[in-house]
């Protein structure tokens, strides 16, 4: 593990289900990120939190809802997803989103929507 832990590692859900992805880091970082990695497409930034405040929402559909209760934890709540939402969801952290290096990524949650 890299210091950023994501659970679950794999998730299969129906389009009407509600589920949550969890990300946890104890690196003392203050910024946390959600990225989506789809097959054949570049990694896409979804959300950024810096010191628990959301600083970026990259035009993500409302069926994805992030939550950052503290600097160590980040959640992605999922509801009424579509099959095209199937992807690898990566969480990352860094000291501060205004600092331009030092990203640590988790191993990801492989999501399949059926």
Partner 1 sequence: KQEVTQIPAALSVPEGENLVLNCSFTDSAIYNLQWFRQDPGKGLTSLLLIQSSQREQTSGRLNASLDKSSGRSTLYIAASQPGDSATYLCAVKIAPGYSTLTFGKGTMLLVSP
Q: Give the interface with partner 1 as residue ranges (CB under 8 A).
A: 2, 4, 6, 31, 33, 40-45, 48, 50, 55-56, 58, 88, 90, 92, 97-98, 100-103, 105-108, 110
Shortest gap between Cβ of 80 and partner 1 (angstroms)? 27
Shortest gap between Cβ of 18 and partner 1 (angstroms)? 25
Smaller CB distance to partner 1: residue 79 or 110?
110
Smaller CB distance to partner 1: residue 19 or 110?
110
Q: Which residues pair with 37 in a beta bridge?
A: 88
Smaller CB distance to partner 1: residue 75 or 105?
105
d(CA 49, CA 31): 5
Distances from the Cα of 76 to the Cα of 20, 39, 44, 98, angstroms = 5, 20, 15, 22
- With a CB cutoff of 8 Å and minimum separation 6, the contacts of 48 are 31, 32, 33, 54, 55, 56, 97
């Amino acid at each position: 593990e890299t210091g950023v832990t994501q659970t679950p590692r794999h998730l299969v859900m129906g389009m009407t289900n509600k589920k949550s992805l969890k990300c946890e880091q104890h690196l003392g970082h203050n910024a946390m990120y959600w990225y989506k990695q789809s097959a054949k497409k570049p990694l896409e930034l979804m959300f950024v939190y810096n010191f628990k405040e959301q600083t970026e929402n990259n035009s993500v559909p409302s069926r994805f809802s992030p939550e950052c209760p503290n600097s160590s934890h980040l959640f992605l709540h999922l509801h009424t997803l579509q099959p095209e939402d199937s992807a690898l969801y990566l969480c990352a952290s860094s000291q501060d989103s205004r600092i331009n290096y030092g990203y640590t990524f988790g191993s990801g949650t492989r999501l399949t929507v059926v």
